[in-house]
Protein backbone atom coordinates (compact mmCIF):
# COMPACT_ATOMS: atom_id res chain seq x y z
CA UNK A 1 0.00 0.00 0.00
CA UNK A 2 2.80 2.39 0.92
CA UNK A 3 4.67 1.66 -2.31
CA UNK A 4 1.56 2.43 -4.35
CA UNK A 5 0.98 5.70 -2.52
CA UNK A 6 4.63 6.75 -2.58
CA UNK A 7 4.91 6.02 -6.30
CA UNK A 8 2.14 8.55 -7.00
CA UNK A 9 4.15 11.33 -5.32
CA UNK A 10 7.58 10.07 -6.38
CA UNK A 11 7.26 8.27 -9.74
CA UNK A 12 9.82 5.55 -10.46
CA UNK A 13 11.75 5.19 -13.66
CA UNK A 14 10.86 2.19 -15.82
CA UNK A 15 14.15 0.41 -14.98
CA UNK A 16 13.66 0.59 -11.20
CA UNK A 17 14.00 -2.87 -9.72
CA UNK A 18 14.58 -2.37 -6.00
CA UNK A 19 11.72 -2.40 -3.50
CA UNK A 20 9.03 -3.16 -6.07
CA UNK A 21 7.43 -6.25 -7.54
CA UNK A 22 9.31 -6.84 -10.76
CA UNK A 23 11.12 -9.54 -12.67
CA UNK A 24 14.28 -8.46 -10.90
CA UNK A 25 17.54 -7.33 -12.38
CA UNK A 26 17.69 -10.19 -14.92
CA UNK A 27 15.66 -8.12 -17.39
CA UNK A 28 18.19 -5.30 -17.16
CA UNK A 29 21.09 -7.75 -17.63
CA UNK A 30 19.46 -9.16 -20.77
CA UNK A 31 18.92 -5.63 -22.08
CA UNK A 32 22.58 -4.77 -21.45
CA UNK A 33 23.75 -7.95 -23.20
CA UNK A 34 21.59 -7.07 -26.20
CA UNK A 35 23.02 -3.55 -26.39
CA UNK A 36 26.60 -4.88 -26.23
CA UNK A 37 25.92 -7.54 -28.89
CA UNK A 38 24.35 -4.97 -31.22
CA UNK A 39 27.30 -2.60 -30.80
CA UNK A 40 29.75 -5.43 -31.57
CA UNK A 41 27.76 -6.64 -34.57
CA UNK A 42 27.51 -3.14 -36.04
CA UNK A 43 31.09 -2.21 -35.08
CA UNK A 44 29.81 0.78 -33.15
CA UNK A 45 31.41 2.52 -30.22
CA UNK A 46 29.72 1.89 -26.90
CA UNK A 47 30.14 3.69 -23.62
CA UNK A 48 28.55 2.52 -20.40
CA UNK A 49 28.19 4.13 -17.02
CA UNK A 50 27.07 2.40 -13.86
CA UNK A 51 25.80 4.21 -10.82
CA UNK A 52 25.64 2.35 -7.53
CA UNK A 53 23.26 3.96 -5.11
CA UNK A 54 23.16 0.98 -2.78
CA UNK A 55 22.06 1.90 0.70
CA UNK A 56 21.10 5.40 -0.45
CA UNK A 57 18.56 5.72 2.34
CA UNK A 58 21.26 4.96 4.91
CA UNK A 59 23.30 7.93 3.74
CA UNK A 60 20.53 10.49 3.11
CA UNK A 61 19.47 12.74 5.91
CA UNK A 62 16.12 11.42 7.09
CA UNK A 63 14.70 14.92 7.49
CA UNK A 64 15.59 15.60 3.84
CA UNK A 65 13.58 12.55 2.76
CA UNK A 66 10.58 13.63 4.83
CA UNK A 67 10.84 17.19 3.51
CA UNK A 68 10.90 15.87 -0.07
CA UNK A 69 7.76 13.82 0.53
CA UNK A 70 6.04 16.89 2.01
CA UNK A 71 7.08 19.06 -0.97
CA UNK A 72 5.63 16.49 -3.37
CA UNK A 73 2.27 16.63 -1.62
CA UNK A 74 2.39 13.21 0.02
CA UNK A 75 -0.43 12.48 2.46
CA UNK A 76 0.64 13.49 6.02
CA UNK A 77 -0.34 10.04 7.30
CA UNK A 78 2.16 8.38 4.94
CA UNK A 79 4.85 10.90 5.92
CA UNK A 80 4.21 10.00 9.56
CA UNK A 81 4.54 6.29 8.76
CA UNK A 82 7.87 6.87 7.01
CA UNK A 83 9.02 9.11 9.85
CA UNK A 84 8.18 6.45 12.42
CA UNK A 85 10.32 3.92 10.55
CA UNK A 86 13.35 6.14 11.23
CA UNK A 87 12.72 6.61 14.97
CA UNK A 88 14.79 4.75 17.57
CA UNK A 89 16.68 2.66 15.01
CA UNK A 90 19.57 0.69 16.48
CA UNK A 91 22.05 -1.75 15.00
CA UNK A 92 23.71 -4.41 17.13
CA UNK A 93 26.71 -6.39 15.98
CA UNK A 94 27.43 -9.57 17.92
- pLDDT tens, 4-34? 777 777 776 766 666 566 666 677 788 889 9
Cα–Cα distance list, 36 to 16, 27, 33, 48 (Å): 21, 14, 5, 10
What is the pLDDT at residue 23? 64
Residue ranges of domains in the chain:
1-50, 52-93
DSSP H/E element including 5: helix 2-9
- pLDDT tens, 52-68? 555 555 667 888 888 98
Amino acid sequence: IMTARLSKACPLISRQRGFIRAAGCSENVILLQSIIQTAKREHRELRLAFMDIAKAFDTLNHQHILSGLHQRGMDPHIIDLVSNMYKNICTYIT
